[in-house]
């Protein structure tokens, strides 16, 4: 069983079915610039190129390592299988030149009404709060479209950028876990969570 979420409140069978159906039919997140879309096996080479930047792949513990086109293709296939089960999504954002500018990886636990968001932006897209705005848009989409009650996020203990972002967005620090990598290694991780109620209240205050 996954180490997260740390908060586990079962939801009704009806809500679980609603969440699974929403995940199975999700096609992307409607960002104003470069809306995201589902990753497919045809994206393996482009995604490998995107992930090959050490500044991008080094902090992400659950990527296949060492990176290769076949491993990235298997990674995409695994997320498509998760989508079929109503338990996960992998979205890509493509720029005007057809290159990947970012990706979002979502894991979902329908029994808890919970989801986890991971991903990255290309370095030229970072800064000027672009990543914060994109994350906030994605969190709202996860609550509104996937019908979740809880969102969880994790980061390495030394990942100051992500910690600052999650703290600033109103996530609550819940503790630490040991995350397990696909290669069998481990990484200590800090865990944040936010409920639908708390997120909605904060967004209303911002508006």
pLDDT in tens, 72-83: 999 999 999 999
Q: What pLDDT is attached to residue 65?
A: 84
Q: Is the pLDDT reported for residue 1 higher than 60?
A: no
Q: Is the pLDDT reported for residue 46 higher than 70?
A: yes
Cβ neighbours of residue 205 under 8 Å, at least 6 residues apart?
none
Q: Is the pLDDT reported for residue 207 higher than 70?
A: no
Q: What pLDDT is attached to residue 123?
A: 83
Q: What pLDDT is attached to residue 131?
A: 79
Cβ neighbours of residue 19 under 8 Å, at least 6 residues apart?
11, 86, 108, 110, 113, 146, 147, 148
Phi, psi torsion values for 134, nearest 5 degrees: -65, -40
171: nearest Cα among 185, 190, 187:
190
Domains in the chain with CATH codes: 13-149 (3.40.630.30)
From residue 50, alpha-carbon distances to 70, 103, 201 in Å are: 15, 9, 36
The average confidence (pLDDT) of the chain is: 92
Q: The pTM is what?
A: 0.93
Q: What pLDDT is attached to residue 47?
A: 97
Q: How far is CA 154 from the centre of its chain?
A: 10
DSSP-assigned beta bridge partners for residue 151: 115, 194
Model confidence over 142-198: pLDDT tens digits? Answer: 999 999 999 999 998 988 989 999 999 999 999 999 887 666 677 899 999 999 999
Q: What is the mean pLDDT of residues 50-67?
A: 87
Q: What pLDDT is attached to residue 107?
A: 97
Q: How far apart are alpha carbons 207 and 202 in whole angstroms?
A: 9
Give the sheet arrangement for strand 172-180, strand by strand: 36-38, 88-94, 100-109, 114-121, 150-156, 186-195, 172-180
């Amino acid at each position: 069983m996954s180490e997260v979420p740390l908060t586990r409140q079962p939801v009704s069978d009806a809500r679980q079915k609603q969440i699974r159906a929403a995940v199975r039919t999700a096609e992307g997140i409607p960002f104003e610039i470069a809306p995201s879309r589902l990753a497919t096996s045809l994206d393996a080479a482009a995604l490998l190129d995107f992930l090959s930047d050490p500044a991008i792949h080094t902090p992400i513990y659950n990527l296949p390592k060492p990176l290769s086109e076949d491993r990235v293709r298997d990674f995409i296939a695994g997320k498509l299988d998760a989508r079929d089960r109503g338990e996960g999504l992998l979205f890509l954002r493509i720029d005007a030149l057809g290159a990947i500018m970012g990706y979002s990886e979502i894991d979902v636990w329908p029994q808890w009404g919970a989801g986890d968001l991971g991903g990255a932006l290309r370095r030229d897209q970072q800064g000027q709060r672009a990543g914060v705005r994109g994350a906030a848009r994605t969190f709202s989409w996860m609550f509104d479209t996937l019908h979740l009650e809880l969102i969880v996020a994790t980061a390495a203990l030394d990942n100051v950028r992500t910690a600052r972002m999650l703290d600033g967005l109103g996530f609550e620090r819940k503790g630490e876990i040991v995350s397990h990598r696909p290669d069998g290694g481990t990484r200590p991780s800090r865990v944040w969570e936010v409920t639908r109620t708390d997120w909605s209240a904060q967004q209303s205050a911002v508006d």
